[in-house]
């Protein structure tokens, strides 16, 4: 079993180290050590996207993710990330919980209205990504939480930055979406036909 010690590394380094190890050494099993919940979720989700079965243990403040290969590495990820030719893919990136500058109360109302109106994009809306202060829209108490849950239930992939959740100490309060990392965000932007940034 290949061991990867990614403790002390900032996002997305734990995922990048894991990815590089899988590509270079092609191990049948890996043991990845990380020291925060966001990295644990990101590494575990990445391994599962590569066809690995995962198990999680916690020792003190460290997380140990054990991955054993259940299919050909990359098989699942390749199938899920190849864009369909005739479907337009729009990624909306929210880096704040308010829209515009000048009046915070108005900015919050505008953002709430914007997110509630996104459904008008129909099937073109492909990813909804929250980073920086935008992650506050995906936690308990958010005015748009039920709307976001409805989007997710309908099949929209919502990604919430793990580094940002950790920074604001909100990881345990996230109620919707997948905890993600910069590698997923960059890959999503690359695959999207259009990125709308707020």
CATH number at residue 6: 3.30.110.40
Looking at the structure, tell me whether residues 39 and 107 fall in a common domain. Answer: no
Looking at the structure, tell me whether residues 92 and 74 fall in a common domain. Answer: no
CATH number at residue 158: 3.40.1260.10
Looking at the structure, tell me whether residues 75 and 130 fall in a common domain. Answer: no
The residue segments making up the domain with residue 49 are 2-79
Tokens of 117: 């109106």
- Burial-class residue 80 by CB neighbours within 10 Å (0-12, 13-18, 19+): exposed
pLDDT per residue, tens digit, the chain (198 aa), is: 899 999 988 777 888 889 889 989 999 999 999 998 888 888 988 898 889 999 999 988 899 999 998 654 444 444 344 444 456 899 999 999 999 888 989 989 999 999 998 988 888 999 999 999 999 999 999 999 999 999 999 999 999 999 999 999 999 999 999 998 888 898 889 999 999 999
Name the domain boundary from 28, 52, 79: 79
Overall pTM surpassing 0.75 (yes/no): no
Looking at the structure, tell me whether residues 105 and 75 fall in a common domain. Answer: no
Per the structure, the count of domains in the chain is 2
Query: Rounded to the nearest 10 degrees, what angle do helices 13-25 and 182-191 cross at?
Result: 70
Looking at the structure, tell me whether residues 67 and 158 fall in a common domain. Answer: no
* Helices marked H in 64-144: 75-81, 104-117
Looking at the structure, tell me whether residues 142 and 121 fall in a common domain. Answer: yes
Looking at the structure, tell me whether residues 73 and 87 fall in a common domain. Answer: no
Looking at the structure, tell me whether residues 26 and 120 fall in a common domain. Answer: no
Contact 73, 26 (CB under 8 A): yes
Looking at the structure, tell me whether residues 121 and 191 fall in a common domain. Answer: yes
Looking at the structure, tell me whether residues 75 and 89 fall in a common domain. Answer: no
Name the domain boundary from 79, 105, 130: 79
Looking at the structure, tell me whether residues 89 and 72 fall in a common domain. Answer: no
Name the domain boundary from 62, 79, 96: 79
Looking at the structure, tell me whether residues 34 and 92 fall in a common domain. Answer: no
């Amino acid at each position: 079993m290949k061991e990867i010690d990614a403790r002390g590394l900032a996002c997305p380094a734990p995922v990048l180290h894991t990815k590089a190890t899988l590509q270079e050494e092609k191990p049948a099993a890996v043991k990845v050590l990380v020291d925060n919940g966001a990295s644990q979720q990101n590494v575990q989700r990445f391994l599962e996207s590569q066809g690995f079965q995962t198990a999680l243990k916690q020792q003190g403040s460290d997380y140990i993710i054990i991955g054993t290969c259940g299919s050909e590495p990359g098989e699942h990820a390749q199938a899920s990330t190849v864009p369909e030719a005739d479907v337009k893919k729009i990624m909306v990136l929210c880096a704040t919980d308010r829209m515009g500058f000048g009046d915070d109360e108005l900015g919050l109302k505008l953002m709430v209205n914007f997110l509630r109106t996104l459904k008008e994009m129909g099937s073109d809306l492909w990813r909804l990504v929250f980073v920086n202060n935008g992650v506050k829209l995906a936690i308990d108490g958010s005015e748009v939480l039920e709307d976001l849950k409805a989007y997710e239930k309908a099949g929209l992939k919502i990604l919430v930055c793990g580094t940002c959740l950790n920074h604001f100490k909100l990881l345990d309060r996230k109620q919707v979406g997948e905890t993600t990392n910069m590698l997923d965000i960059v890959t999503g932007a690359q695959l999207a036909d259009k990125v709308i940034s707020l």
